Structure 1
């Protein structure tokens, strides 16, 4: 398909003055898109912004995406990232994320023929990705990660399974599922006094820890069967979990 003609036909599309050959279009107030063709001309590399459009930041994303697209998607075709990204006004971010068409499904309604040719990029944090996301995991992460240009704190990759005998809350099924680090911390606190309660969590590196409450003591041990249980206070446990999830 003629990608240039398609992009030029977007609502309010105009040349993007920060990058030669790129386009800026805005179908509604506060909703801005910027895109450029890949080096081989086969794909649209797109940046999205909702009430957060910054031309300099968008240009920085495009520059980094063009430079690193090939290596990023060679690592993972669904959801990938490259470290070392920096941009004006986005100084807290340390990575750029890329989303493949089977995950974002962008243009599925308006122009479905364009979807397979589109990759979306957004500023992110290295701690938000494992690099091993399958299609289901990539879609789950894409659904919760902000994909615009707004400044934000990190939302680290973490999975959890829990059984709380005190509150009677528990995970659905035996597997660990994605959660928010704040929810992990809350479940650890809620275990206090719940005999036999269990929280198991996994970080982006694939490391897993199992925490349980028994007889008034906190125990934290890895799923390594040779690891001995360790007594730990709640404050130390929360610091332990925070460090494992954010690093």
Structure 2
């Protein structure tokens, strides 16, 4: 389709300085959008910022994505992440180390105003390596869930690491409702680790981006083990520190 002609009708559109075949536009003051044609001109690579749009960052992300688009989606056609991104030189306000690419079946942009455009748009955002499965094996449903969780258009955000969890708390009569481990936020893991105290039979299982799984139980104290290993006694602060290191660390 004629992507240039469609983009020419976007409100407030102008060329994006510092990157060829790239544009900025905005529908409302709070949101800034930037897009660049793919290397073959067949797709629009697009990002947005909600109250946080930054032109230097946009140029860096779109340039990285255009140059390495094939690698970005090579392992997962729905949801690709690629390490090696560096924010603009001298910008200490950003510490992103990756770029994520998002396919139309995940982002579903332009359903009303330009439905013909949707299949030709790949969203790209700066991100953190800890937020994505190292094996790049997220299913379509998982990719949609993570896309909704991460709030990628908040460009000043902190990392939200990849975390799957299931739990049962016999003292508070709470448990996860998913059939297996489901996505959640680190603060929920920390809460469940603390709340299990005194609840015999309570447990928390958590999985990081490398697919490694640990289980913490309460049996007159906290016991922790990686799957298949013998448990050891720990204090709750040690368990919390250990878990956060496994979630935020690159090597897991």
- Whether these two folds match at TM > 0.5 is yes
Runs of 4+ off more than 6 Å: none
Structure 1: segments with no counterpart, 5+ residues: none
User: Separation in 2 of the partners of 1:149 and 1:8?
Assistant: 26
- Does the aligned pair in 1 maintain the 2:130–2:162 contact within 8 Å? yes
User: Separation in 2 of the partners of 1:203 and 1:243?
Assistant: 10
Task: Provide the aligned length of Structure 1 versus Structure 2.
Answer: 244
1:1-247 alignment, distance < 5 Å: 1-88=1-88, 89=91, 90-130=93-133, 131-148=136-153, 150-214=155-219, 216-224=220-228, 227-247=229-249
1:64 Cα offset (Å): 0.6
1:149 Cα offset (Å): 5.6
Q: RMSD of aligned C-alpha atoms?
A: 1.2
1:67 Cα offset (Å): 1.1
Q: What are the superposed Cα offsets for residues 84-124 of structure 1, whole Å, 9 maximum, x if unpaired? A: 11123453111111111100001112111111110011111
TM-score (norm 1): 0.95
User: Separation in 1 of the partners of 2:152 and 2:7?
Assistant: 20
Match of 2:68, SS state, is: helix
User: Separation in 2 of the partners of 1:241 and 1:17?
Assistant: 43
User: Separation in 2 of the partners of 1:79 and 1:14?
Assistant: 29
User: Separation in 2 of the partners of 1:124 and 1:80?
Assistant: 11
TM-score (norm 2): 0.93
Q: What are the superposed Cα offsets for residues 119-141 of structure 1, whole Å, 9 maximum, x if unpaired? A: 01111100000021110000000
User: Separation in 2 of the partners of 1:170 and 1:84?
Assistant: 39
User: Separation in 1 of the partners of 2:238 and 2:195?
Assistant: 15
User: Separation in 2 of the partners of 1:18 and 1:53?
Assistant: 16
User: Separation in 2 of the partners of 1:101 and 1:150?
Assistant: 21
User: Separation in 1 of the partners of 2:58 and 2:117?
Assistant: 21
User: Separation in 1 of the partners of 2:35 and 2:131?
Assistant: 24
User: Separation in 2 of the partners of 1:19 and 1:174?
Assistant: 47
User: Separation in 1 of the partners of 2:212 and 2:239?
Assistant: 16
Deviates more, 1:78-87 or 1:185-194: 78-87
Structure 2: segments with no counterpart, 5+ residues: none
User: Separation in 1 of the partners of 2:58 and 2:105?
Assistant: 23
